[in-house]
Amino acid sequence: MSLIINHNISAMNTQRNLELSNGSLSKSLQKLSSGYKINVASDDPSGLIISEQLRSQTNSLERAVRNSQEASNVLGIAEGALIEINEMLRHLRGLAIHAANSGVTASDQVRADQSELDSAVQTIDRIANTTKYSDQYLLNGSKSLIYDTNVVQGNALIDTGKTRLDQVFKRDGLVVGVSYTGQAGTTPGTAAMTRQAQRAIWEAGASSTGSEVSSTIGANMNQLTADQSFIVTGNLGSRQFSFSSGTDVSQLVTGVENVADSTGVHAALIFANNSTASVIGAGIAATNITSYDIYGMNTGVNTDAQGKLFFATTAAGDISVFSDAAGTNLVASSTGATAAGTYVLQEENDSGISGSVTTSAATAAVAVGATVWTMPKSVTDATVYEAGDSGNVLNGWQINGIEIGKNTDSEGRLYVEAAGGGGAFKIYSDSGLTQLVATGTDSAGQVTLTEANSSGLGGYVTSTNAGATGVTIRPRLTARLYSDDYGEDSYVRLQANKGKMWERYNDATAQYQRLDSTTNPVTDQADGQDATIFVNGTETLIEGLDAEISTPVFGGRLYLEEGVVGDTTIAQVGFDVGRASTAAGMMYTTTNLAVNAGDNSSENIQNIRNGMQYQLGGSDGDQSRTVYAIPSMAVPNIGQVEIDGTSYTLQDVLGGGIASLSKEPVIAMKVISQAIDDVSSLRARLGAFQKNMLHTNVNSLNVTIENITATESAIRDANMAYETSQFTKNQILTQAGTAMLAQANSVSQNVLKLLG
């Protein structure tokens, strides 16, 4: 072994190991003092990344838990106010019941009740308009969702005054699309038929065969031709009715309608036909075309701008129908005579026009030019009745917008006054000629009608004697019974004890079912129908006209419009009071169904604003947020009911209001009951949101936080037992290395022994 003094290799080796031991000892001290096994990135780079991500997630979730708890507290404040409103409304209903007991209750008591009611209603309004959390008002409507609608082709499907979105998961760019899809059929019970919301319905002589309501022009028109006795049963109860032969159908309707509140079955006058026609032009002589039954007319679409159709015939007896005088736009043609001179019309070019034409000269060839003045779906099958000039003053009508009892008298009559040689016409809704509903000026026998006093009436009248006065236009009317509500739970049951005036379409047999007491007293039931719609492409069943809807993007209550007969709306087809039925069978014609339901029956809810946005999760995705809405609970916005065409709210029960206790205590009861339902329904929705969304979210997030924390702990926390043993080892190694370094440094001193 050589002895050297310039390099002490043993000392260098010992010093290196000592430095390693010192480093390990330092790290052990760091881990033991911090409790973490990852203190700097060099300890575990990948572990540090995961740990920091988990820490961030935990912090976010902890904030989301606090958000949910705060949201629940806010809704608790709103419900606390609603509880007080509920208690006051229950008391108010008792006051209304007391006031309705008019046979005992004195007027002074009613005034005292009204004073108490006024004070309570004002308090309800104050609570609704002042309840707030910090600077945010909760019940005044500022937290309700506001949205615009984009109505496709003018067909309103959704009643935006009632439709309510409670919750959406995002506002920006959200579109809620509601539609029917599939090809609409024209025959009840077929698979192709669009399922629309329907009331249960019976009509008098809907199929135009065997009707016991007279359609003969004259004094007996619209009168019963036989004694009638029947029992009506609806969702609310039963009543029996008896009417003698000669009774006007309007009186029958009044009798049934008067007790609708106790049966749930309404009655209405309806027009006997909804699309008839009158020849007013040349080409085919009026005497050659004896009758029409034409459906599907849409003025300006499959007719000319005035609602006219133009006919031509061939020597073989075929008939072609055009929408223009030039004969270029074919809309219907005959498929051959089914009887002498009677032709079935088949639509051409998807026009929608169909029906039949009867002529007395089927083989005469006539060029285009026969003009048929169409009578659209809202027009009476009018005849001049009680005319001042023997029925010759008026010989053609196209009167639009007629609503029985609104812009006509109670039997649908219009009263015409001509002003002499100038040809000015005035049309009134009363025989006293005081309620002006339309005016017009004669030009070559054709009068264009202009509505007066916002009546809605319009159209045309043709005249052979513009100077005559005293003409009454009277429609052919019949009766309709219909359930108060829509949907398959609604029904109208009839038992015919005498007569056979009532009829309905039977889906099971695909035939009209007539109650005929001449065979035996018979009972039959007409049922309503629920609508099937698609919400953002998902099939949904609407119960009646409304249903609670829940999709991945929104939740709320959806209301469908009450449509107009013949319009391509998706609710209530064939049931509008005062609107026309069809000779071919109530609501089941192309006029009354959406021909292309997928195109014509859809609407979007979009451009959604307001509401309360809650961040309930730890991520920035839409699923971590929700927007919840609270509608206005102010007095004018609760208790909304419609009775006999008049809308009421809780505002109307105040003293001097149209539903005050002294005026209409029964209506006040209905309004207050609806207000109780409105408030209770909102409380239930708030409670459901708190329980199923907020409380559940807190519980779920707390479990998630616990598991994430455990995972992060396993990655980053130091195992103190292990680190203690490592510290002891490193401490011993450091002490040993220090001692050995001292020994290694003394090795070079052995050279001094050689120097003696």
Range in 72-86, 121-135, 167-181, 326-340 the model is least confident about: 326-340
620 assigned to some structural domain: no
Same domain, 219 and 262: yes
Residues 354 and 416 in one domain: no
**How confident is the model at residue 469, as a pLDDT?**
60
249 and 316 in a common domain: no
Count of structural domains, the chain? 4
Question: Does 363 lie in the same domain as 292?
Answer: yes
* 366 and 438 assigned to the same domain: no
487 and 522 co-located in one domain: yes
pLDDT of residue 275: 40
For 695-726, the pLDDT digits (tens) are 998 999 999 889 988 888 888 888 888 888 88
User: Sorting pLDDT into bands at 50, 70 and 90, what band is 604?
Assistant: confident
Residue 556 is predicted with a pLDDT of 87
466 and 400 in a common domain: yes
The reply to whether 403 and 358 lie within a common domain is: no
Report whether pLDDT(18) > 60.
yes
Residue 591 pLDDT: 33
pLDDT digits (tens, 9 = 90+) for 613-670: 998 888 887 778 889 999 999 999 999 988 877 889 999 999 989 999 989 999 999 9
Question: Is residue 408 domain-shared with residue 497, that is, in the same domain?
Answer: no
pLDDT tens-digit profile of 108-118?
899 999 999 99
- Does position 296 have pLDDT exceeding 70, yes or no? no
Q: Which region holds residue 8: left if phi is over 0, alpha if psi is between -120 and 50, else beta?
A: beta
Which residue reads 């207000």 in tokens?
Answer: 675
Best mean pLDDT range from 398-402, 543-547, 576-580: 543-547
Tens of pLDDT, residues 262-277 = 999 998 877 654 344 4
Q: Is residue 508 part of a domain?
A: yes
Contact present, 547 and 541 (Cβ < 8 Å)? yes
Tokens of 164: 């309510």
The terminus-to-terminus CA distance of the chain in angstroms comes to 19
Query: How far from the centroid of its chain's Cα atoms is residue 600's Cα?
Result: 16
Quick one: pLDDT band at residue 398, thresholds 50, 70, 90? low
Alpha carbons 460 and 382: distance in angstroms, whole number: 13
Q: Report the DSSP beta bridge partners of residue 604.
A: 150, 177
Buried/exposed 277-315: b ≥16 CB within 10 Å, e otherwise:
bbbbbebbeeebbeebbbbbbbbeebbbeebbbbbbbee
Higher pLDDT, 510 or 677: 677
pLDDT at 462 exceeding the cut of 90:
no
Strand partners, 539: 534
Identify the domain boundary among 313, 343, 374: 374
DSSP code per residue over 507-551: TTTTEEEE--TTT--EEEEEE-B-EEEEETTEEEEEBTTEEEEE-
Q: Which amino acid is at 450?
A: T
Residue 264 sits in the same domain as residue 243: yes
Nearest to 544, CA basis, from 491, 487, 482: 487
Residue 538 maps to a domain:
no
With respect to residue 560, please indicate whether it lies within any of the assigned structural domains.
no
Decide: residue 55, CB within 10 A, 0-12 exposed, 13-18 middle, 19+ buried: middle
Q: Which two tokens stand for residue 229?
A: 């006795």
Answer yes or no: do 314 and 237 share one domain.
Answer: no
- Residue 535 and residue 556: Cα distance in Å, rounded? 12
Across the range 526-551, mean pLDDT stands at: 81
Closest CA to 172 of 555, 606, 552: 606
Q: Letter for the amino acid at 156?
A: A
Average pLDDT over residues 316-327: 79
Residues 462 and 444 in one domain: yes
| Tokens, residue 485 | 């509500």
Residue 181: CB atoms within 10 Å: 16
Structure tokens belonging to residue 446: 């054709």
Report the C-alpha gap between 125 and 139 in whole angstroms. 10
Percent of the chain at pLDDT exceeding 90: 24
Please give the model's pTM, rounded to 2 decimal places: 0.70
pLDDT in the model for residue 624? 83
pLDDT-derived band of residue 39, with 50, 70 and 90 as boundaries? Answer: confident
In a domain, residue 346? The reply is yes
- What's the mean pLDDT in 227-233? 95
Mean pLDDT for all residues in the chain: 77
Give, to the nearest 10 degrees, the angle between helix 107-130 and helix 45-100.
170
Residue 737 resides in a domain: yes
Do the domain assignments include residue 204? yes
Q: Which of 452, 470, 488 corresponds to the end of one domain?
A: 470
Within-domain flag for 112: no
Of 362 and 275, the structure prediction assigns the larger pLDDT to 362
Q: How many CB atoms neighbour CB 656 within 10 A?
A: 10
For residue 695, give the 3-state DSSP assignment. Answer: helix
723 by DSSP, 3-state: which? helix
The range of the structural domain enclosing residue 368 comes to 277-374
Q: Among 346, 374, 402, where does a domain finish?
A: 374
Residue 207, pLDDT above cutoff 60: no
Decide: 330 and 311 in contact? Cβ < 8 Å: no
pLDDT recorded at residue 559: 84
Average pLDDT over residues 394-405: 67
Q: Please say if the pLDDT value at position 219 is more than 50.
A: yes
